Amino acid sequence: MTLVTSRVISLFALCISLFLLSGCGQTVTRVDANSVTDLSGNWNDTDSRLVAEEMIQDVLSRAWLTKYNRSHGRAPTVIVGTVRNLSHEHINTQTFIADMERELINSGDVEFVASATDRKEVRGEVQDQDLHASEETRKSLGQEIGADFMMQGSINSIVDAISGEQARFYQIDLTLVELGTNRKVWVGQKKIKKTVEKGGFRL
């Protein structure tokens, strides 16, 4: 093997090594939390936030709220119950529930009480205060505010795919139920459709 050939092979090997090393690098870019980032086409934080904002705005604009305020002379107390994930993918419904809770609380149109899970921790604190807190500061059991309405719902999906192209359809259904009577006072629905093309081009 000549000296020139040896140098060419060494140079070629160096180029391959540099190429492989550059391909293994990772770049992290910080973006605005409210920016739309659809990378996979799956349900994401943007879907959760936008759907929560739109559906809570809708429920608070309907006649049930005005009727309740007029007949009771106060804002209704609401709690968010279960949102079932019936879609084809894993969805963290707790994030969606938190988005809806934020919109309801910040609207100022309704009162809001803690969820069943949160209440267990709060009740434990009240019981602890009963033993250890001073008379002036301790809180007593049996003073909770009962919810007037519960919001429940589900997330469903349909996937249609052919030759590298995929359409993903999400349907979010929410219902507001009056506790005690089980009367439905509002039913909301939001639909989202996304198309995903593999390879960057349509086959």
Task: Judge whether 26 lies within some domain.
Answer: no
Average pLDDT, the chain: 85
Write down the pLDDT at residue 15.
61
- Give backbone dihedrals phi and psi of 81, rounded to 5 degrees, phi first: -90, -135
Could you tell me the pTM of the whole model?
0.76
15 within a domain of the structure (yes/no)? no
Give the rounded percent of residues in the chain with a pLDDT score beyond 90.
56
74 within domain boundaries: yes
* 59, part of any domain: yes
DSSP 134-161: -TTT---TT-PPPPSEEEEEEEEEEEEE
CATH number of the domain to which 165 belongs: 3.40.50
* pLDDT the model gives residue 58: 97
Domain that holds residue 113: 43-200
List pLDDT tens digits, range 15-60: 666 555 555 567 766 666 566 666 677 888 889 999 999 999 999 9
Residue 18 forms part of a structural domain: no
* Residue 191 domain flag: yes
Q: What amino acid occupies position 64?
A: W
**pLDDT tens sequence across 62-82:** 999 999 999 999 999 999 999
pLDDT for the residue 187? 97
75 belongs to a structural domain: yes
Report the number of distinct structural domains present in the chain.
1
In a domain, 35, yes or no: no
